[in-house]
């Protein structure tokens, strides 16, 4: 199977426009599915410069570039921009370096755009840290949530399919970005790599979407039946819901993405991946009858839980962690867990 075959099989991601008076967050709440908003950020200063060429883009970023150290990745041209593990999974195929944003911009200006150029990739860096003042000229309205705004800057590159716990509105500021999205239930068909040793913090699919090996990863064929795709131009935005897998490619010589992340639950909640790792430690190796019993417990106390169902028969002041969770209850639970894990 070739990359062209994959692209031909993708369903289109819904495209929509905000209705008069409709906020972006209202659209997100109503959707629960990915969607594209063409031209959402057409008025951004960066998008305007993108229409004038790569040099105009790097010059524009220099106006805001701070002197704070940043971490960037570089990989040889032979990897064709695939930011990934090395062949034996003992490490990564890229090197990380501490540098300054201006130095990265100088390196981007010096590249020819040829196939032998190295891939330069600055990922997930806080905008206000590396480009102070940028948000004043390049922002979307997300009133009502405290979004973390982060910069992704690089040459042509491919980031393996991964998920984020956070909700995400991603805006293309320059270049073009291809997104391939798959719903959370495709987990088993994506052949996910280690969850405790990852290229950038999140577990990734081991399938190369450019050259998928269906002998090694046969269930990926089924995943493609549910895959959706789009290519975004400067000023376009996409909503990527929490836990949706997304494979992302930068398609041009210089590509800039600005994403806006926010947590879909209360701030005091713990990280779900930590709970998964604890479950692997505590449950996965139990005999099958006990695992089956714990499935019932998790469904009752977590996935199908309502206060009345799990604790309605108890006095409100004696429900403990079965009662409503707030910041104080979350602190008590964390303390209990720390004490138990330290034994």
Q: Are residues 137 and 35 in the same domain?
A: yes
Cβ(204)–Cβ(163) under 8 Å?
Answer: no
Whether pLDDT at 187 is above 80: yes
Q: Are residues 189 and 296 in the same domain?
A: no
DSSP 62-76: HTT--S-EEEEEEE-
Q: Are residues 211 and 304 in the same domain?
A: no
214, 255, 277 from 208: Cα distances, Å: 10, 21, 26
Overall average pLDDT of the 221-230 stretch: 96
Q: Are residues 220 and 336 in the same domain?
A: no
140, 165, 242, 323 from 265: Cα distances, Å: 21, 10, 11, 17
pLDDT number for residue 9? 92
pLDDT number for residue 197? 96
Whether pLDDT at 113 is above 80: no
Could you identify the residue written with the tokens 């950038």?
200
Q: Which of 228, 262, 296 is the last residue of a domain?
A: 262
Residue 267 placed within a domain: no
Which pLDDT band, with edges at 50, 70 and 90, does 144 fall under?
Answer: confident
Overall average pLDDT of the 68-90 stretch: 95
Q: What is the pTM of this model?
A: 0.94
Q: Are residues 49 and 185 in the same domain?
A: yes
Tell me the average pLDDT of the chain: 94
pLDDT number for residue 40? 97
* Domain assignment of residue 277, given as a range: 272-341
Count of structural domains, the chain: 2
Overall average pLDDT of the 267-271 stretch: 90
Q: Are residues 237 and 300 in the same domain?
A: no
Nearest by Cα to 229 from 174, 177, 169 = 177
Spatial separation of the C-alpha atoms in residues 312 and 135, rounded to whole Å: 48
Q: Are residues 116 and 258 in the same domain?
A: yes
């Amino acid at each position: 199977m070739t990359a062209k075959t994959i692209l031909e099989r993708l369903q289109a991601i819904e495209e929509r426009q905000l209705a008069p008076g409709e906020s972006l967050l209202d659209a997100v709440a109503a959707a629960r599915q990915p969607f594209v908003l063409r031209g959402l950020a057409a008025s951004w200063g960066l998008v305007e410069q993108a229409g004038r060429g790569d040099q105009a883009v790097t010059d524009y970023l220099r106006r805001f570039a701070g002197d704070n150290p940043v971490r960037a990745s570089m990989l040889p041209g032979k990897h064709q921009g695939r930011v990934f593990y090395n062949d034996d999974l003992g490490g990564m195929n890229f090197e990380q370096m501490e540098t300054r944003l201006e130095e990265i911009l100088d390196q981007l200006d010096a590249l020819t755009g040829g196939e032998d150029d190295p891939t330069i990739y600055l990922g997930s860096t806080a905008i206000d840290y590396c480009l102070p003042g940028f948000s004043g000229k390049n922002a979307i309205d997300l009133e009502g949530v405290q979004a973390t705004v982060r910069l992704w800057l690089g040459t042509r590159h491919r980031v393996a399919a991964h998920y984020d716990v956070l909700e995400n509105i991603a805006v293309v500021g320059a270049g073009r970005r291809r997104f391939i999205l798959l719903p959370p239930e495709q987990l088993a068909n994506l052949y996910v790599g280690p969850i405790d040793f990852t290229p950038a913090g999140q577990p990734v699919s081991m399938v190369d979407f450019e050259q998928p090996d269906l002998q090694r990863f046969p269930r990926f064929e089924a995943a493609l039946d549910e895959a959706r795709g789009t290519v975004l131009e400067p000023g376009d935005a996409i909503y990527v819901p929490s836990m949706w897998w997304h494979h992302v490619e930068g398609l041009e010589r210089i590509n800039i993405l600005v994403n806006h992340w926010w947590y879909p639950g209360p701030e005091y909640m713990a990280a779900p991946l930590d709970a998964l790792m604890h479950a692997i430690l505590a449950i996965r190796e139990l005999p099958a009858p006990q695992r089956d019993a714990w499935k019932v417990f998790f469904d009752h106390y977590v996935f199908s839980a309502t206060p009345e169902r799990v604790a309605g028969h108890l006095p409100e002041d004696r429900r403990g962690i079965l009662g409503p969770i707030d910041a104080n209850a979350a602190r008590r639970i964390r303390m209990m867990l720390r004490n138990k894990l330290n034994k």
